[in-house]
Structure 1
Amino acid sequence: MNIAILGIGHIAEKMAAAISGLDDNYKPYAAASRSIENATRFAKKWRFEKSYGSYKDLLDDENIDLVYIATPHSFHYEQALMCLNAGKNILVEKAFTANYFQAKEILDISKSKKLLAAEAIWTRYMPSRYILNELIESRIIGDAISVTASLCYPIENIKRLRDPSLAGGTLLDLGIYPLNFSSMIFGNKIKSLNGNCIKLETGVDAQESVSIEYENGSFASLFSSIRTPGDRNGVIYGTKGYITVQNINNPEIIRVYNSDHEMVKEIFSPSQINGYEYELMACHDAIMNGESECKDMPHSETLEIMRQMDYLRDLWGIKYPFE
């Protein structure tokens, strides 16, 4: 599978490392930037075969099997549309787009053209999510009835995160992870969704607390911030014990405790290149099977999380200038 990267910022470096660590079924083929000098430098560093100084030139290359879109959220819709119209399968960095309606259009087009469109929310593809599902299904903690999760990094000085025109703020960058964590545990039959946020002077959300009540009586309490460091932990509470997840952004250790707070099981996540490889493997399988979505993160899940984030932004009075 010849893989191309569109946009060569920090996240693209991580994806390039994952590609380089996989076997020969995954070829670092092409990289594109608005600067040919930057694209050439990136391609040389990661041993990509080709480099392009424009995204159009990249999409004219008929040998590309998958394009990974690694640009800011605000560009995803336009660039995903360009890729699909050029007949390219796409893996789009989270958040998939800036809002639900953009995502719906892109996903509908991918299905009509029989091309893959997948969201690169890496925790959805990792073995750890299936380890957690198996533990919950085993009822080792009884009935799972509540979840807490947080993800915080002191990154508010990053320019794009402060900029409404780039769909900046906490929610699409960090808050999306606790939302996905809860969704992977309890699904999406939501009775009520509420939250509060504190904004930066630019108008984007700086930190937020979100609560979700599910139709089955389960509950989630989620927190995220670009202003502070945090423990990144998740906890699943059951009637007979609880499960802790060390680092919901890339789970490292899963521990199970009984009702007496005694650890009864400790599971270390499998070794990995850097965690990004699981997305690529899922895309490879989907493309080989002629599918337009990955089973780990189907279109319906991408749309549901986008719907939740749209609802929260509307609640907080946050609207991007291009909407």
Structure 2
Amino acid sequence: MSGFPAALPESRVPDSQDAPVLNWGIAGPGWIAERFVESVKAHSAQNITAVGSRSASRAADFAAKHSIPAGHGSYKELAQDPNVDIVYVATPHPQHFDAAMTAIEAGKHVLVEKPMGITGEQVRIMAEAARVRNVFAAEALWTFFLPKFDVVTQLLEGGALGDIVSVFAEYGEHFEAGHRIFDPALAGGPLMDLGTYPLAFATRVLGAAESVAAIGTPHPSGVNGQLSMALGFADGAQGIVNTNLYNFTPTEAVIVGTEATLRIDGPFNMPGGFTLRHKDGRELRFEEDPGAHFEGLHFEAAAAARSIAAGLTEAPQRPLEHTLRTLELADEIRRQTGMEFPDTTTRKQTP
């Protein structure tokens, strides 16, 4: 492809049912783990063999509810289960590092929910540990594994938009009182939860940011409530990102090029459509039914299985370098806005 295409390319993402089968362990039996299990069981042939929690009763309840053969009362027990090939880490954010490292050190592959860590340092440590043990490690940022995003990637790589000059992305959502996003001890606030999506999107399209100017608004709960970021990139490209936990926003993303503009329907991070519009007014439309986690999380599991079968230790859809790029940018945003997260890099002895 060179220049504006006559038609949109087809997605190259294979059917998840055709991926090589791995035995999966689930670390952290929470809301996202339930969505992952439901999606994987419905749309793929992957085999979920165990679940682990710091609470043996929670693990047992989750295992019974989802017909999973084994429930373990610690992440260490889960990592040592001989019937587990790969651990999907779905714990609260500050526990990602410890749960993932426990699995990696036991020789298990890991797919870690976003954000992979709460600091860039944690990602660097996990990446090095995985490299030393020659195991697969990736961030489960499901957006980049969706068929829709593969089409977007082909358009970007084929030059359909010309030179990219700016990216706009935002994500806001309403949360009821008592949600974990309001808890400072759980790295609360929108940055690591909602904000990961627009930050990762902007840096996926434009590369590493060379500069950032961030402003934040405190929330009465003690976390940050809203962030706006202006990002500067090589060759003068710019990114504008906003995220908040006060209420729902369109959650759209726009990529502006010298030849065409690509506008992704909200919520841009989920299955759905987008429009490619040439500067002369021609348009191409990608149509896809909107969907949530049930329709999309299986793609990241299937991609991990294919990568491992191919001897890869990273996911091409979300390389560790890209994950680190996003977390280092988040580190700088926290520095500028005075956000403090709990230090969970020094690990305690895992039970």
The residue number in structure 1 matching 2:4 is none
The residue number in structure 2 matching 1:207 is 226
Relative distance call for 1:145 and 1:303 in structure 2 (3 A) is same
Q: Is the 8 A contact 1:60 1:86 kept in 2?
A: yes
Q: How does 1:41-190 map to 2 (within 5 A)?
A: 41-155=61-175, 157-188=177-208, 190=209
The structure where strand makes up a greater share of residues is 1
Q: Distance in 1 between matches of 2:303 and 2:178?
A: 31
**For 1:220, what is the secondary structure of its paired residue?**
strand
The residue number in structure 2 matching 1:304 is 325
The residue number in structure 1 matching 2:19 is none
Q: How does 1:210-229 map to 2 (within 5 A)?
A: 210-229=229-248
How big is the shift at 1:138?
A: 4.2
The residue number in structure 2 matching 1:278 is 299
Of the candidates 241, 250, 253, which is equivalent to residue 231 of structure 1?
250
How big is the shift at 1:23?
A: 3.8
Which has the higher mean CA deviation after the structures are superposed, 156-165 or 274-283? Answer: 156-165
Relative distance call for 1:106 and 1:240 in structure 2 (3 A) is closer
**For 1:275, what is the secondary structure of its paired residue?**
helix
How big is the shift at 1:139?
A: 4.2
**For 1:3, what is the secondary structure of its paired residue?**
strand
**For 1:252, what is the secondary structure of its paired residue?**
coil
Residue 98 of structure 2 aligns with an amino acid whose one-letter code is: E
2:219 aligned with 1:196, yes or no?
A: no
2:343 aligned with 1:319, yes or no?
A: no
Which has the higher mean CA deviation after the structures are superposed, 221-230 or 56-65? Answer: 56-65
Relative distance call for 1:209 and 1:292 in structure 2 (3 A) is same
Q: Is the 8 A contact 1:31 1:50 kept in 2?
A: yes
**For 1:115, what is the secondary structure of its paired residue?**
coil
How big is the shift at 1:156?
A: 6.2
The residue number in structure 2 matching 1:17 is 38
Q: Distance in 1 between matches of 2:88 and 2:34?
A: 12
Which has the higher mean CA deviation after the structures are superposed, 239-248 or 217-226? Answer: 239-248
Query: Identity over aligned residues, as a percent?
Result: 30
Which has the higher mean CA deviation after the structures are superposed, 311-320 or 192-201? Answer: 192-201
Which has the higher mean CA deviation after the structures are superposed, 233-242 or 268-277? Answer: 268-277
Which has the higher mean CA deviation after the structures are superposed, 249-258 or 206-215? Answer: 249-258
Q: Distance in 2 between matches of 1:114 and 1:139?
A: 35
Q: Is the 8 A contact 1:245 1:251 kept in 2?
A: no
Q: Which 5+ residue runs of structure 1 have no aligned equivalent?
A: none
Q: How does 1:257-276 map to 2 (within 5 A)?
A: 257-259=277-279, 262=281, 264-269=283-288, 274-276=295-297
**For 1:174, what is the secondary structure of its paired residue?**
coil
Across the aligned residues of Structure 1 and Structure 2, the Cα RMSD in angstroms comes to 2.0
Deviation per CA, 1:103-125: give whole Å up to 9, x if none.
11111011001111111111122
What TM-score results when the alignment is normalised by the length of structure 2?
0.85
Which has the higher mean CA deviation after the structures are superposed, 190-199 or 284-293? Answer: 284-293
Residue 7 of structure 1 aligns with an amino acid whose one-letter code is: G
Q: Is the 8 A contact 2:113 2:141 kept in 1?
A: yes
2:315 aligned with 1:291, yes or no?
A: no
Deviation per CA, 1:14-60: give whole Å up to 9, x if none.
11012202443x10111122333332332233221222233232222
The residue number in structure 2 matching 1:32 is 52
The residue number in structure 2 matching 1:2 is 23
Q: Distance in 2 between matches of 1:202 and 1:18?
A: 33
How big is the shift at 1:291?
A: 2.6
Deviation per CA, 1:164-198: give whole Å up to 9, x if none.
2211111000111001111222122x331111111
How big is the shift at 1:271?
A: 8.9
How big is the shift at 1:91?
A: 0.8
Q: Which 5+ residue runs of structure 2 have no aligned equivalent?
A: 1-21, 345-351
Q: Distance in 2 between matches of 1:76 and 1:225?
A: 23
Relative distance call for 1:135 and 1:50 in structure 2 (3 A) is same
Q: Distance in 1 between matches of 2:246 and 2:112?
A: 26
**For 1:171, what is the secondary structure of its paired residue?**
coil
Asked which structure has the greater RCO (Cα within 8 Å, sep 6+), the reply is 2
